[in-house]
């Protein structure tokens, strides 16, 4: 059977991907949900980003995406993009108001498991309607046979955010998760319980997927897993040497060979404070089990991958720390060639 949407891991040969867009990038107000996720400096509310700097970040990011698109297309991958969004889109619920942040990171707001596309119940208020620019694509995939689900829309009262520096969590009052909290490994899904995902969210996902999948709760980092651990292919991991030790690798994966990533190069940031650490440099996109796309400036990561027999394809990616996401975050693999298997 030919699927329009099919992806159950991060290493099978890539055939179609959704790439985000920097158009409409709007740094949102520093509210309780943003502080909870980014843990910005105390004076973050005083940040003033001039229009020229913001436009430069948008333009340079779109230049980088154009290069990435050419790289992907030359590898036989179909690249899709979201609808154009506008700057400063405001919205409100009865309890709070915010501004839409961007359409940069489909990996965060959409979860593909098999032929399902799931809209995630994201806990950051500025990301509440982040799937909206991708709705045209979702309708197209649905009409072609994909299953399209949306998790319960959360209320996100102030009590959601249980703040502790370096160890924040979200309350268990309603299912919450960013899709980037997941490590997909065939029939096994690893769900990172963190400041962007709770156990009730894992329970909702487990019931949604049914008996074909096992959802394992882990807690290996404070937010998304893509700057801490990647499954490169069965038997081979890429791990953050600063955050993890061998005994902190999820138990079912602990016997697999691990490439321990040295501290990535710091490519800086354009705003007053960074939205991501230097570890965004290990946030990679796999074209297949032996080939990955890597930010061109990450020479140490590239060398480590190549020493392990992985082909690293470099591409420009200048502003990951500026807006808070890497190559994996800014892409969503909609279709990979391969079946559903159990590896553990």
Which positions are catalytic?
178, 224, 329
Sheet containing 147-150, strands listed edge to edge, beginning at the edge strand earlier in sequence: 110-113, 116-119, 147-150
Distance (Å, rounded) from C-alpha 125 to C-alpha 143? 30
Is the pLDDT score of 9 beyond 70?
Answer: yes
8 inside domain? no
User: Taking the mean position of all CA atoms in its chain, how far away is CA 162?
Assistant: 22
Taking all residues of the chain, what is their mean pLDDT, rounded to a whole number?
95
Would you say residue 20 has pLDDT above 80?
Answer: yes
Residue 59 contacts by C-beta under 8 Å, 6 or more apart in sequence?
Answer: none
Q: What CA–CA distance (Å, rounded) separates 226 from 284?
A: 8
**Is 91 domain-assigned?**
yes
Q: Indicate whether 9 belongs to any domain.
A: no
- 119-142: average pLDDT: 97
Asked if residue 163 has pLDDT above 80, the reply is no
Average pLDDT over residues 4-31: 96
In a domain, 2, yes or no: no
Domain count, the chain: 1
7, part of any domain: no
User: Strand 236-240 to strand 229-233: parallel, antiparallel, or no bridges (unpaired)?
Assistant: antiparallel
Q: Report if residue 344 sits inside a domain.
A: no
Instruction: Calculate mean pLDDT across residues 324-340.
Output: 97
Strands 311-315 and 291-295: parallel
170: domain CATH number?
A: 3.75.10.10
152: in domain: yes
| Structural domain range at position 78 | 14-336
First to last CA, the chain: 25
How far, in Å, CA of 281 to CA of 300, rounded?
10
User: String of b and e for 112-132 (b: at least 16 CB within 10 Å)?
Assistant: bbbbbbbbbbbbbbbbbbbbb
- Binned at pLDDT 50, 70 and 90, residue 296 comes out as very high
pLDDT (average), residues 302-329: 97
- 201, 121 Cβ separation under 8 angstroms: yes
Residue 314 placed within a domain = yes
Q: Residue 1's pLDDT is what?
A: 56
């Amino acid at each position: 059977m030919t699927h329009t949407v099919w992806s159950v891991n991060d290493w099978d040969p890539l055939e179609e991907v959704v790439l985000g867009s920097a158009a409409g990038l709007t740094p949102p107000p520093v509210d309780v949900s943003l502080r909870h996720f980014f843990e910005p400096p105390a004076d973050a509310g005083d940040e003033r980003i001039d229009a020229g700097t913001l436009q430069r970040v948008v333009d340079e990011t779109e230049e980088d995406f154009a290069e990435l698109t050419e790289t992907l297309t030359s590898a036989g991958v179909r690249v899709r993009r979201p609808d154009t969004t506008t700057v400063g889109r405001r919205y409100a619920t009865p309890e709070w108001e915010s501004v839409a942040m961007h359409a940069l990171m489909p990996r965060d707001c959409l979860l593909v498991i098999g032929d399902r596309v799931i809209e995630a119940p994201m806990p950051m208020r500025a990301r509440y309607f982040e799937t909206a620019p991708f709705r045209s694509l979702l309708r197209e995939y649905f009409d072609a046979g994909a299953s399209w689900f949306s998790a319960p829309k959360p209320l996100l009262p102030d009590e959601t955010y249980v703040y502790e520096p370096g160890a924040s969590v979200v309350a268990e009052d309603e299912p919450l998760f960013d899709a980037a909290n997941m490590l997909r490994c065939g029939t096994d899904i690893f769900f990172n319980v963190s400041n962007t995902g709770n156990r009730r969210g894992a329970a909702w996902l487990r019931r949604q997927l049914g008996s074909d999948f096992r959802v394992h709760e882990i807690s290996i980092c404070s937010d998304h897993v893509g700057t801490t651990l990647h499954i490169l292919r069965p038997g081979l991991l890429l791990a953050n040497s600063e955050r993890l030790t061998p005994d902190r690798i999820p138990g079912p994966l602990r016997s697999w060979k691990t490439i321990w990533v040295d501290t990535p190069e710091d490519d800086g940031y354009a705003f007053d404070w960074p939205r991501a650490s230097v570890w965004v440099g290990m946030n990679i996109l796999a074209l297949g089990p032996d080939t990955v796309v890597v930010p061109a400036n990450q020479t140490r990561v590239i060398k480590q991958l190549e020493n392990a027999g992985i082909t690293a394809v470099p591409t420009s990616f200048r502003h990951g720390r500026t807006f808070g996401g890497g190559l994996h975050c800014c892409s969503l693999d909609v279709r990979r060639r391969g079946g559903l298997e159990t590896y553990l």
